[in-house]
Amino acid sequence: MQEKFTTKEHHSHANDPSDGLSNRETFLRSFFDNTTDCILSVDTNRVVRDCNTAFLDTFGYTRDEVLNRPIEFIHPSYESLVIFGEIAYAEIKRSGAWRGQWVFLKKDASAIVVDLALTAVYGGENQVLGYVAVMRETPEGKQAVDAFPEWELPYLSTFDAIPDAVAVTNVKDGRYRFVNDGFCSRTGYSREEVIGKTAYELNIYSNPDDRFLLLEALQKTGRVVNLEIQFRRRDGSFSDSYFSAKFMDLDGEQCIISITKDVTEFKKLEKEKAKLEAQLNHMHKMEALGTLAGGIAHDFNNILTVITGYSEMALKNAENGRTSTEEIKPIVRAADRGKKLIEQILAFSRKASFAPKPLDIARIIAETSQIIQRTIPKMVSVETRSADVPLITKADAFQIEQVLLNLAGNAKDAMPDGGRFLIQCDRIALDDDHNHECISALPGEYIQLIVSDTGSGMSRETIEHVFDPFYTTKEIGSGTGLGLASVYGVIKGHGGHISCSSEIGAGTRFTILLPAAGSEDIPAEPAAGIAKTPDLGNETILVVDDELELLDLCTALLESCGYKVKTAASGEGAVKEYGPGVDLVIMDLNMPGIGGLKAMQQIHALDPKAKVMIASGYTPTGSVQETFRKGAAGYITKPFSMDELLSLVREVLDSQA
């Protein structure tokens, strides 16, 4: 392969047909040896394999002094060779050729500036066999040699070939010693106007203090890379730039060599892109909000219709002297549906209340699978597989159970004719180079849950929207479309990751990663038992809420169990009503006036031992958590049942202050 661009010693026989060369090769060889441009060929190791007469005459060498010699001998310095390699060979790799000016040394050590074209020579399968350099000395090159000090010659062509602004300045007084063509075109100044001046005299820095910041950064680390600075051009306009610099020693004087990349247009495009992305995100957000609002309205209208209809029937029957629990039960069931819908929405938004603690996922799977087996059709087999290793994560047991039940419900609907529902659990470790399905997962230890079924599967389009709120492929009335959205919210709320894979007719697979916890002992779960009827009481309770119907409801519930009740409709009213003899305050947070939080603080100022219980429609995050930090004794979420309220009231009253 190499012989195609290496040559034999045939300089003295270039035109002799007896060399065995074809007519075409003879012509090319004749051109090679007789052109006035200097031509040099090197292999991939940058060793000279051939050169023409013009090169030998111009550089003053004989052929034997050139062939098989590393190319370093014509470079002024090792730095020149390295810079040339970085610039030229990178461009050759990209486009196959490099053109520009470069400084070389002749045999007598004099410098020569040439216009240089360096081209790659390719063989089979696009393999690079070597490089051909064509050089021509120009009048401008001769003038450049005379005009610049000796230390600048190796870098002259490099500087001017770079489109960015390159400058060399003295550290002591900040005066420019050299600037390239890129500097002149970027700033609008000529070399004559810049050399010997300072940036202050030219008013180049948008902020004059920037040079002191640069010097300070250079003194600390020795170099600055891509520092964002704004420069002023000669016409008064400004350019956003990335500034890189380092110290160098020239003629015994400390200098700074810098490269400044103008990114003004890039910044404009970046701002425009950010603006368009913000607009697009806003459109998506509004679209999602519209879908969410529509879905919530649809479901709540159904729930309210049931509550309103049965309430009116019960009221009418009561007026006629007839009472029946059959009209009341659907109201309770509808209210419970509304509560569960709110829980799903909060889970989707990741604002649901949960209490993470060390949890054995294998135990949760075993317990939940028993529930699934009782609720799923018998033609669907339920299987579980848990690895014999600690499967511990910090999670809320109830919410993880709901995740599994949600996935089981979806699987059941996908297997109307039967199939298999499988839950697998293992502990895995992901490294920096992992290619796990959950690509966003960071390296670390995880508990991996794989929940799969052999059902009808989903299309690619469905998978793209599978976690979207109120997106459902079920028939009207068969589902809200919040199940998988709430599953996603729960997993993300626990710091985990979830992915879905499916094909039509090939089943569906959900992969869940939850951060693994240590192998510390898991707290024993309390034994299940029959719910205990809340104890009665005789204490005095102050109920505070701006909803009069809720005040009446709580008063009726508490008085039916023996408690004495006082009421207030605002925070100010609560402070006024509170006094000796009040054993507990049940307070809403979001009320007109000073609100619940400030009211609680003022009550505690009157009585530091006062017990205040929060009853709020908000979940225990944000402002509610603030009430706990400020001394709340308990918390209950609206809507609550009678038993839930009475149990917590008794618990708070019996607790030690």
Give 39-104 as a DSSP string: EEEEETT-BEEEE-HHHHHHHT--HHHHTT-BGGGGSSSHHHHHHHIIIIIHHHHHHSEEEEEEEE
State the pLDDT confidence band at 241, using cuts at 50, 70 and 90.
confident
Mean pLDDT of the chain: 77
State the pLDDT confidence band at 66, using cuts at 50, 70 and 90.
very high
542 has a pLDDT exceeding 90:
yes
State the pLDDT confidence band at 293, using cuts at 50, 70 and 90.
low
149 has a pLDDT exceeding 60:
no
94 has a pLDDT exceeding 50:
yes
Per-residue tokens: 110: 């004099």
Per-residue tokens: 291: 């879908």
- Contact (CB, 8 A) for 129 and 4: yes
Section 422-438 average pLDDT: 85
Q: How far apart (Å, rounded) are the C-alpha atoms in residues 61 and 109?
A: 12
- pLDDT at site 27: 66
Section 15-36 average pLDDT: 63
- pLDDT at site 478: 41
276 has a pLDDT exceeding 50:
yes
State the pLDDT confidence band at 332, using cuts at 50, 70 and 90.
confident
Residue 391 DSSP SS3: coil
Least confident of 82-91, 311-320, 509-518, 622-631: 622-631
Instruction: List Cβ neighbours of 431 (8 Å cut-off, separation of 6 or more).
Output: 443
- pLDDT at site 529: 39
- State the amino acid at position 277 in one-letter form: E
Section 283-301 average pLDDT: 58
Residue 391's Cβ-count burial label (10 Å; 0-12, 13-18, 19+) is buried
- Contact (CB, 8 A) for 566 and 592: no
Q: How far apart (Å, rounded) are the C-alpha atoms in residues 607 and 595?
A: 18
Count of all residues that appear for the chain in the document: 657
Section 430-444 average pLDDT: 80
Least confident of 328-332, 340-344, 491-495: 340-344
CA dihedral over 364, 365, 366, 371, signed as positive or negative: positive
For 302-324, write each residue's pLDDT tens digit: 666 767 777 777 777 777 777 67
Residue 361's Cβ-count burial label (10 Å; 0-12, 13-18, 19+) is buried
State the pLDDT confidence band at 172, using cuts at 50, 70 and 90.
confident
For 206-238, write each residue's pLDDT tens digit: 887 777 778 888 888 778 888 888 888 888 888
346 has a pLDDT exceeding 90:
no
pTM of structure: 0.38
Least confident of 162-176, 465-479, 493-507, 562-576: 465-479
Section 159-174 average pLDDT: 78
Residue 572: how many other CB atoms lie within 10 Å: 17
534, 561, 643, 644 from 531: Cα distances, Å: 9, 17, 10, 11
- Contact (CB, 8 A) for 180 and 187: no
- Contact (CB, 8 A) for 501 and 437: yes
State the pLDDT confidence band at 55, using cuts at 50, 70 and 90.
very high
State the pLDDT confidence band at 567, using cuts at 50, 70 and 90.
very high
Section 38-54 average pLDDT: 90
State the pLDDT confidence band at 284, using cuts at 50, 70 and 90.
low
354 has a pLDDT exceeding 60:
no
Section 418-427 average pLDDT: 92
State the pLDDT confidence band at 522, using cuts at 50, 70 and 90.
low
- The percentage of residues in the chain with a pLDDT greater than 90, rounded to a whole number, is 14
- pLDDT at site 16: 45
Q: Which residue has the higher pLDDT, 302 or 68?
A: 68
Which range, 305-314, 479-488, 570-579, has the best average confidence (pLDDT)?
A: 570-579
44 has a pLDDT exceeding 50:
yes
584 has a pLDDT exceeding 90:
yes
- pLDDT at site 618: 62
Q: How far apart (Å, rounded) are the C-alpha atoms in residues 59 and 238?
A: 46
Section 88-107 average pLDDT: 80
Per-residue tokens: 555: 């008063």
Q: Which residue has the higher pLDDT, 290 or 35?
A: 35
Q: Which residue has the higher pLDDT, 196 or 564?
A: 564
- Contact (CB, 8 A) for 197 and 207: no
- pLDDT at site 475: 45
State the pLDDT confidence band at 10, using cuts at 50, 70 and 90.
very low
